[in-house]
């Protein structure tokens, strides 16, 4: 049925082990628009059914290679069959099949058996991955799913045994150490970091877990230990080879299998840097596996499988704490652990509501300090936030704590050098802790060339460690290591940050996400997907309720956000959809009217819903509102 395949001399190589191949016989009615791609070094076959080929592999081919469209009837089995069907080996689609197998969503397939993967089985596996990752469940490798599959991640399976369908968010593999004092040694160090620095980072990673338990970790240089740590490349003797830069970063074994942890030495391991891959964070995650924790489906948890970039103010998530304490109990003694950050409050009663913040939750700026505290500035006063609201004893005067700093600050951020910068009007101030660092204020044009005066907010984005300044409808990227620090392609429109409004008030990074604030509402921005996060309730949410502990505030979605922007429905104009039963929705200020394309009255009279500068509550159901 097959002719021998020979390389197409006119084809262009698209990868180290991929080429275009073209000489394939006619399969009786199956038409090809172009060549078939075959992975030369692989001996595996992606065996699929016709229906899945039609709706999924076709999409995969169109999206990534535009190679072919094929239609057939019946099952697509293997190349040795005498029937009129074929096995296709499509590298990108095939890699996603391997991904689902590697991380526990599909049973590995025997390439010589000719076994069939049904549409139902494959769709179920994709759906399980999407559900675990918090994506829209489509059963199809759509663009969002594909992007997530390409992210660097841990090599341990997500789906481990029957506990995958758990009721708790954290996951326990089922085994744990029976002793509280555990030893470890680093048998093989990474090629690009000094050994003493690696020792310090891994010691810090273990202390992430000893901070909340009575576990004690002791490093040994030789001899038998509980946990052995190695930095390896490619195949390294455990049957689970590393894949080079990106992809799988590391893997570790649960206690029942020995607890050892292996790191891919092809990665650029770094310390306290946005460049490369942060050793401390990855090690802390892997040691969670060494202690018995599986992957969590909580995105903000350390035990989530995906690497989310360097976090200067790393804190262990409540989900991780509950998981490790379910295995080893709560901490009863002081074992000298170094805190990984402010400890989340789990049992304390909610703090008293702050009348000023609860009445009007619009703020001037928010920022993380180098010490790990989170501050809110408003007017001439400031508050410190805790995990359940506002710390006791606040507000306080800004001028009493940061000598020489005025009130009504526009924006603030703490950089990786540990210094905090404050902006107001055309000037900025720099502090180390709460002490002014030199002769300030200075002109923004002097220290931040290319950045305008009177900015709205600024953030150090976790995606690349660079500074982003926002003003009105525009933003600027500032990179102090480049000359000029702002490229001539800036400013750009804030609308590039999908789902964010213009005229922001504040922003802050917290547990792997960037949060943006406007008025009395906030948006959680998913830095991996580069869009406002999808959640229930939807964003924006009430800053008063979720950040300031105001239990009397609205818990659900606020303002223009019950709704998503659907420009295509309103002839390219900006419009809002209010879903069914969204009665008494609170609207922020702006002008809206019902377009004639929706209400069909051919008359805009009476269609004005909200006047600019006002806030109101009104009932609406199944209505499109157009911004004027």
Concatenated DSSP letters of 42-66? ----B-BBHHHIIIIIHHHHHHHT-
Q: Is 533 annotated as a binding residue?
A: no
pLDDT of residue 347: 31
CA distance linking residue 101 with residue 46, whole number of Å: 12
Residue 334 lies in a domain: no
pLDDT of residue 505: 96
pTM: 0.48
Q: Is 260 annotated as a binding residue?
A: yes
For the cut 60, the answer to whether the pLDDT of residue 86 exceeds it is no
DSSP character string of 300-347: TSTTSSB-----TT----HHHHHHHHHHH----S---PPPSSSPPPSS
| Percent with pLDDT over 70 in the chain | 65
Same domain, 372 and 506: yes
**Beta bridge partners of residue 506, listed in sequence order:** 517
Same domain, 257 and 389: no
For the cut 90, the answer to whether the pLDDT of residue 590 exceeds it is no
Cβ–Cβ under 8 Å, residues 366 and 376: yes
pLDDT of residue 313: 75
Determine phi and psi for 511, rounding to 5 degrees. Answer: 50, 50
Q: Which of 286, 311, 318, 353 is catalytic?
A: 286
Quote the distance between the C-alpha of residue 35 and its chain's center: 37
Report which DSSP code applies to 171. Answer: -
Residue 185 lies in a domain: yes
Same domain, 193 and 102: no
Q: Is 502 annotated as a binding residue?
A: no
Residue 562 lies in a domain: no
Residue 554 lies in a domain: no
End-to-end CA, the chain: 64
pLDDT of residue 447: 93
Max Cα-Cα span within the chain: 85
pLDDT of residue 428: 97
Residue 25 lies in a domain: yes
Range of the domain at 320: 181-328
Same domain, 518 and 370: yes
For the cut 80, the answer to whether the pLDDT of residue 597 exceeds it is no
Cβ–Cβ under 8 Å, residues 517 and 505: yes
For the cut 60, the answer to whether the pLDDT of residue 618 exceeds it is no
- What is the domain count for the chain? 3
Same domain, 430 and 288: no
Confidence of residue 296 (pLDDT cuts 50, 70, 90): confident
Confidence of residue 95 (pLDDT cuts 50, 70, 90): low
For the cut 50, the answer to whether the pLDDT of residue 265 exceeds it is yes
For the cut 60, the answer to whether the pLDDT of residue 55 exceeds it is no
Residue 595 lies in a domain: no
What stretch of H or E contains 16?
Answer: none
Instruction: Give per-residue pLDDT as tens, 568-580.
Output: 334 444 444 433 3
Of 564, 563, 547, give the one whose Cα is nearest residue 555.
547
For the cut 50, the answer to whether the pLDDT of residue 126 exceeds it is yes
The token pair at 51 is 């229906």
For the cut 60, the answer to whether the pLDDT of residue 617 exceeds it is no
pLDDT of residue 202: 97
3-class state of residue 100 by DSSP: helix
For the cut 90, the answer to whether the pLDDT of residue 291 exceeds it is yes
Quote the distance between the C-alpha of residue 83 and its chain's center: 46
For the cut 50, the answer to whether the pLDDT of residue 533 exceeds it is yes
pLDDT of residue 108: 63
DSSP character string of 472-537: TTEEEEE-TTSSSSS-TT--EEGGGSBT--SS--EEEEETTEEEEEETTEEEEEETTTTEEPP-SS
CA distance linking residue 77 with residue 85, whole number of Å: 6
Cβ–Cβ under 8 Å, residues 312 and 510: no
Same domain, 319 and 370: no
Q: Is 60 annotated as a binding residue?
A: no
- Helix and strand counts by DSSP (H, E) for the chain: 13, 35
Q: Is 53 annotated as a binding residue?
A: no
Q: Which of 203-207, 333-337, 419-423 has the lowest mean pLDDT?
A: 333-337
Q: Is 373 annotated as a binding residue?
A: no
Confidence of residue 423 (pLDDT cuts 50, 70, 90): very high
Same domain, 229 and 123: no
Q: Helix/strand/coil (H, E, C) string of 108-165?
A: CCCCCCCCCECHHHHHHHHHHHHHHHCCCCCCCCCHHHHHHHCCCEECCCCCCHHHHH
| Percent with pLDDT over 90 in the chain | 33
Q: Which residues contact 58 (CB under 8 A, 6 or more apart)?
A: 69, 70
Is the pLDDT higher at 340 or at 453? 453
CA distance linking residue 220 with residue 226, whole number of Å: 10
Name residue, tokens 């507000």: 395
Tell me, what CATH number does 375's domain have? Answer: 2.110.10.10
Q: Which of 93-107, 197-211, 281-295, 462-476 has the lowest mean pLDDT?
A: 93-107
Q: Is 319 annotated as a binding residue?
A: no
For the cut 70, the answer to whether the pLDDT of residue 338 exceeds it is no
Which one of 548, 580, 610 terminates a domain?
548
Cβ–Cβ under 8 Å, residues 102 and 241: no
Cβ–Cβ under 8 Å, residues 584 and 562: no
Same domain, 302 and 412: no
Q: Is 199 annotated as a binding residue?
A: no
pLDDT of residue 529: 72
Confidence of residue 493 (pLDDT cuts 50, 70, 90): very high
Determine phi and psi for 560, rounding to 5 degrees. Answer: -70, 30
Q: Is 400 annotated as a binding residue?
A: no
Peptide bond into 543 cis (omega under 30): no
pLDDT of residue 231: 97
Q: Is 94 annotated as a binding residue?
A: no
pLDDT of residue 19: 25
pLDDT of residue 314: 83
CA distance linking residue 61 with residue 94, whole number of Å: 11
pLDDT of residue 464: 76
Task: Look up 286 and say whether it is catalytic.
Answer: yes
The token pair at 452 is 């305008």
Instruction: Give per-residue pLDDT as tens, 158-196.
Output: 875 544 443 344 455 557 898 999 999 999 999 999 999
Q: Is 265 annotated as a binding residue?
A: yes
Q: Over range 315-323, report the average pLDDT.
A: 87
For the cut 50, the answer to whether the pLDDT of residue 390 exceeds it is yes
Alpha-carbon distance values, 415 to 185, 421, 597 (Å): 34, 8, 50
Same domain, 321 and 362: no
Q: Over range 545-551, report the average pLDDT.
A: 85
Mean pLDDT of the chain: 71
Same domain, 323 and 359: no
pLDDT of residue 445: 94
Q: Over range 449-475, report the average pLDDT.
A: 92
Is the pLDDT higher at 79 or at 460? 460
Which one of 328, 343, 374 terminates a domain?
328
Determine phi and psi for 625, rounding to 5 degrees. Answer: -120, 130
Which one of 485, 516, 548 terminates a domain?
548
The token pair at 89 is 């080996």
For the cut 80, the answer to whether the pLDDT of residue 449 exceeds it is yes
For the cut 70, the answer to whether the pLDDT of residue 6 exceeds it is no
Q: Is 226 annotated as a binding residue?
A: no
Confidence of residue 136 (pLDDT cuts 50, 70, 90): confident
Same domain, 360 and 321: no
Q: Which residues contact 418 (CB under 8 A, 6 or more apart)?
A: 370, 432
Exposed, middle or buried by CB within 10 Å (0-12, 13-18, 19+), for 545? buried
Other C-beta atoms lying within 10 Å of the C-beta of residue 86: 20
Most trustworthy range by pLDDT among 57-71, 352-366, 499-513: 499-513
Same domain, 136 and 195: no
pLDDT of residue 195: 95
CA distance linking residue 616 with residue 346, whole number of Å: 37
**Beta bridge partners of residue 532, listed in sequence order:** 525
Residue 274 lies in a domain: yes
Residue 583 lies in a domain: no
CA distance linking residue 316 with residue 452, whole number of Å: 37
Alpha-carbon distance values, 457 to 138, 305, 445, 502, 608 (Å): 37, 31, 16, 11, 32
Q: Is 380 annotated as a binding residue?
A: no
What stretch of H or E contains 389?
Answer: strand 389-390
Confidence of residue 308 (pLDDT cuts 50, 70, 90): confident
pLDDT of residue 458: 97
Of 178, 216, 163, 213, give the one whose Cα is nearest residue 324.
213
């Amino acid at each position: 049925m097959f002719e021998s395949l020979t390389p197409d001399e006119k084809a262009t190589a698209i990868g180290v082990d991929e080429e275009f191949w073209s000489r394939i016989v006619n399969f009786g009615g199956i038409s090809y628009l172009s060549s078939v791609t075959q992975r030369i070094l692989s001996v595996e076959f992606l065996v699929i059914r016709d229906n899945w080929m039609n709706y999924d592999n076709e999409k995969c081919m169109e999206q990534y290679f535009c190679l072919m469209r094929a239609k057939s009837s019946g099952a697509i089995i293997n190349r040795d069959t005498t029937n009129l069907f074929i096995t296709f080996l499509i590298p990108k689609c095939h890699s996603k099949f391997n991904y689902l197998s590697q991380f526990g969503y599909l049973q590995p397939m025997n390439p010589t058996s000719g076994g069939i993967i049904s549409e139902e089985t494959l769709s179920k596996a994709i759906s399980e991955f999407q559900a675990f990752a918090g994506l829209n469940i489509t059963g199809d490798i759509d663009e969002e799913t594909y992007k997530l599959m390409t992210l660097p991640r841990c090599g341990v399976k997500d789906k481990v045994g029957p506990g995958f369908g758990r009721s708790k968010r954290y996951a326990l593999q089922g085994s744990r150490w029976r002793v509280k004092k555990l030893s470890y040694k680093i048998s093989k160090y990474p090629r690009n970091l000094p050994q003493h620095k690696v020792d310090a980072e891994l010691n810090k990673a273990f202390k992430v877990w000893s901070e909340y338990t009575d576990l004690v970790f002791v490093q040994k240089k030789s001899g038998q230990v509980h946990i052995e740590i190695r930095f390896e490349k490619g195949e390294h003797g455990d049957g689970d080879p590393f894949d080079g830069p990106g992809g799988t970063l590391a893997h570790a074994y649960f206690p029942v299998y020995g607890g050892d942890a292996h790191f891919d030495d092809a990665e650029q391991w770094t310390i306290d840097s946005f460049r490369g891959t942060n050793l401390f964070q990855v090690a802390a995650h892997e040691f969670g596996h060494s202690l018995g924790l599986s992957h969590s489906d909580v995105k903000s948890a350390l035990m989530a499988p995906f690497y989310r970039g360097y976090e200067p103010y790393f804190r262990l998530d409540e989900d991780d704490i509950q998981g490790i304490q379910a295995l080893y109990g709560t901490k009863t003694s002081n074992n000298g652990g170094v805190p990984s950050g402010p400890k989340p409050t789990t049992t304390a009663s909610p703090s008293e509501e702050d009348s000023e913040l609860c009445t009007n939750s619009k703020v001037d700026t928010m920022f993380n300090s180098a010490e790990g505290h989170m501050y809110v500035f408003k007017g001439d006063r400031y508050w410190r936030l805790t995990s359940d609201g506002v710390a006791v004893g606040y507000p306080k005067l800004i001028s009493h704590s940061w000598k020489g700093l005025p009130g009504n600050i526009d924006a603030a951020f703490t950089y990786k050098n540990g210094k905090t910068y404050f902006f107001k009007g055309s000037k900025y101030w720099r502090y180390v802790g709460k002490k002014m660092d030199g002769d300030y204020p200075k002109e923004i044009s002097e220290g931040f060339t290319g950045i305008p005066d009177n900015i709205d907010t600024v953030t150090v984005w976790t995606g690349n460690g660079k500074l982003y300044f926002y003003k009105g409808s525009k933003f600027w990227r500032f990179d102090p290591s480049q000359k000029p620090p702002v490229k001539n392609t800036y400013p750009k429109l804030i609308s590039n940050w999908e789902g964010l409004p213009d005229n922001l008030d504040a922003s802050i990074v917290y547990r792997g996400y960037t949060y943006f604030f406007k008025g009395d509402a906030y948006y959680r921005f998913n830095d991996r997907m580069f869009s406002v996060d999808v959640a229930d309730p939807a964003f924006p949410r009430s800053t008063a309720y979720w950040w300031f502990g105001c239990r009397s505030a609205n818990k659900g979605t606020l303002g223009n956000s019950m709704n998503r922007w659907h420009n295509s429905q309103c002839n390219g104009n900006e419009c809002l959809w209010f879903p069914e039963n969204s009665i008494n929705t609170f609207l922020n200020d702006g002008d809206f009217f019902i377009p004639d394309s929706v209400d069909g009255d051919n008359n805009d009279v009476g269609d004005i819903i909200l006047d600019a500068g006002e806030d109101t509550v009104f009932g609406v159901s199944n209505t499109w509102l157009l911004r004027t």
